[in-house]
């Protein structure tokens, strides 16, 4: 009995330390109010109602939301472009609370946000019926940028996805060869030029016949995902799916 009490105290102590370092379903990650452990994505109902989850019509190529009344099944970015990936999915529109949370995750070093944000991505995969993937590949950061930030946000999200879906996480497929400029302040054409030859394969990589999932935090015009996918095609995968946490809207 004494041993059981001792083990329980140790277990409780470990949980308290984890909750301090990585808050798990204690406070809403958006507004900070106290919530129950059962609240989905660690977000209170009020804040969830103000997040634009992508549930309606979406581009059949990249997954970006499109107008419900639209005639076409693709967004303007994909209309006249053949993508290098098989199909894309995205989870929420990049605005408001989500925009702030992603900024805190990437630049505020709030790594614990990988868990609720990754859970959003897992739900999207399940809703889309994408449950059979051979490996999960994060979009890589250049080593200098990763050293500055301390982590690669796409890698952390991919880690959650791989663990929850029971898939293999592989960080040694793609490598970022160039420390490119941030894409956020570039035009569509500049984005394409910026990442055109930015990625390479690790030596000896083969994806022959595999289904792979490429993961990133934000999808805008698709330049980065396309560049990564073109590089992955050299390893002969059967299919390349892409998944981003957030994306903009095309009308």
Say if 190 falls within a structural domain: no
**Domain assignment of residue 76, yes or no:** yes
Check residues 79 and 121 and name the one with the higher pLDDT.
121
Same domain as 206, residue 154: yes
Q: Residue 218: pLDDT band by 50, 70, 90 thresholds?
A: very high
Tell whether 45 and 63 lie within a shared domain: no
Q: Is 13 a member of any domain?
A: yes
Tell me if 188 is assigned to some domain.
no
- Note the pTM of the prediction, 2 decimals: 0.84
- Packed helices 96-107 and 114-128: angle between N→C axes, nearest 10 degrees: 130
Percent of the chain with pLDDT over 70: 82
pLDDT in tens, 65-105: 998 777 888 998 888 788 999 999 999 999 989 999 999 99
Helical residues (DSSP H) of 51-142, grouped into ranges: 76-79, 96-107, 114-128
Q: Is the pLDDT of residue 15 over 60?
A: no
Is the pLDDT at 179 greater than 90? The verdict is no
Same domain, yes or no, for 30 and 58? no
| Residue 224 domain-assigned (yes or no) | yes
Q: What is the mean pLDDT of residues 194-219?
A: 91
Q: Is 189 inside a domain boundary? A: no
pLDDT recorded at residue 194? 55
Q: Note down the domain range covering 39.
A: 1-50
Per-residue confidence at 26, pLDDT binned at 50, 70, 90? confident
- Match 């006249």 to its residue by tokens: 80
**Are 56 and 210 spatial neighbours (Cβ–Cβ below 8 Å)?**
no
| Residues 108, 129 within the same domain | yes
Q: What is the pLDDT of residue 251?
A: 45
| Higher per-residue confidence, 26 vs 121 | 121
For residues 148 and 93, membership in a common domain is answered with yes
Joined together, the tokens standing for residue 150 give 């301390």
Whether 200 and 88 share a structural domain:
yes
Domain count, the chain: 2
Report the pLDDT value the prediction gives residue 8, as an integer from 0 to 100: 44
Same domain, yes or no: 126 and 223 = yes
Q: How far apart are CA 30 and CA 108, in angstroms?
A: 14
Q: State yes or no: pLDDT of 184 exceeds 90.
A: no
Query: For position 215, which CATH number holds?
Result: 3.40.50.2020
């Amino acid at each position: 009995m004494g041993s059981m009490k001792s083990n329980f105290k140790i277990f409780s102590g470990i949980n308290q330390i984890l909750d301090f370092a990585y808050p798990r379903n204690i406070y809403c990650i958006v507004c900070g109010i106290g919530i129950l452990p059962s609240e989905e994505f660690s977000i209170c109902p009020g804040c969830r109602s103000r997040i634009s989850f992508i549930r309606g019509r979406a581009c059949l190529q990249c997954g970006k939301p499109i107008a419900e009344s639209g005639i076409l099944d693709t967004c303007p970015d994909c209309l006249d472009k053949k993508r290098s990936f098989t199909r894309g999915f995205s989870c929420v529109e990049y605005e408001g609370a989500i925009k702030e949370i992603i900024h805190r995750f990437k630049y505020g070093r709030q790594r614990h946000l990988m868990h609720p944000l990754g859970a959003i991505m897992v739900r999207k995969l399940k809703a889309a019926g994408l449950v059979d993937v051979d490996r999960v590949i994060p979009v890589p950061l250049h080593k200098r940028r990763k050293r500055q930030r301390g982590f690669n946000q796409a890698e952390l999200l991919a880690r959650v996805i791989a663990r929850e879906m029971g898939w293999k996480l592989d960080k040694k497929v793609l490598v970022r060869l160039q420390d490119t400029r941030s894409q956020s302040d570039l035009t569509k054409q500049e984005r394409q030029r910026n990442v055109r030859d930015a990625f390479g394969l690790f030596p000896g990589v083969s994806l022959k016949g595999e289904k792979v999932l490429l993961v990133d935090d934000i999808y805008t015009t698709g330049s980065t995902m396309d560049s990564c996918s073109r590089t992955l095609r050299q390893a002969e995968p059967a299919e390349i799916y892409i998944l981003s946490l957030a994306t903009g809207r095309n009308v």
